Amino acid sequence: MLKGILNYAHYLLEESIEEGETVIDATCGNGNDTLFLSDLVGESGFVIAFDIQEQAITVTREAILQRQKSNVSLIHDSHENIKKYLPKDKTIGGAIFNLGYLPRSDKRIITRSVSTIQAMDVILEFLKKNGLLILVVYHGHEGGKEEKEAILKHVINLNQKEFSVLRYGFINQKNDPPFIIAIQKK
């Protein structure tokens, strides 16, 4: 069976992340991926989750508290500053970005190519061998096309000796369907 976009993103994370690892949710939003990652790495692991919106941090904090998770660090800052928050000696087990805007929120607050690419490059530097950085690319909104194109241009040019880059998406869907870019470090 072909997996839907979010299922496939979670499947890839499940396949590549091990208990005890440090992982990144670059855009926590309502916290769905943060909780998923928290379960994957278990109590001995650690999730670092970013969002620039107070609302997203508050909603995610509530979800974490409700499920009594103690392995998440929520950071109210742009993921482009990620280097400041990474433990120096740790490799990253995996990472996910959900691009676009927070559903049922201000559609003008969106991820932007410059900061997304800056964060991606830092994560790729610290990613474990065979680890995955996943981008779920929503691009139907205003500003989405620019971000999509800049990111595609960037990942297409990643050195194939160092990274494998996969694009996964449904090509017969209407209305700018989202797709996945998965980058594996060799």
- Under the binding rule (CB under 6 A), the answer on residue 100 touching ligand SAM is yes
- Under the binding rule (CB under 6 A), the answer on residue 79 touching ligand SAM is yes
Q: How far is the CB of 28 from ligand SAM (least distance, A)?
A: 6
DSSP string, 19-74: TT-EEEES--TTSHHHHHHHHHH-TTSEEEEE-S-HHHHHHHHHHHHHTT--SEEE
60 versus 89: smaller Cβ distance to ligand SAM: 60
- Under the binding rule (CB under 6 A), the answer on residue 56 touching ligand SAM is yes
β partners of residue 101: 110
117 versus 152: smaller Cβ distance to ligand SAM: 117
16, 22, 27, 38: residue in contact with ligand SAM (rule CB under 6 A)? 27
CB 52 within 8 A of CB 78: yes
How far is residue 50's CA from residue 63's CA, in Å, rounded to a whole number? 15
How far is residue 158's CA from residue 184's CA, in Å, rounded to a whole number? 11
94 versus 100: smaller Cβ distance to ligand SAM: 100
CB 138 within 8 A of CB 175: no
Max Cα-Cα span within the chain: 45
Q: How far is the CB of 31 from ligand SAM (least distance, A)?
A: 6
Q: How many CA atoms lie within 13 A of 19 on its CB side?
A: 4
Window 131 to 160, contacts with ligand SAM (CB under 6 A) = none
- Under the binding rule (CB under 6 A), the answer on residue 109 touching ligand SAM is yes
- Under the binding rule (CB under 6 A), the answer on residue 102 touching ligand SAM is yes
- Sites of contact with ligand SAM (CB under 6 A): 27-30, 32-33, 50-53, 56, 78-80, 98, 100, 102, 109, 111, 115
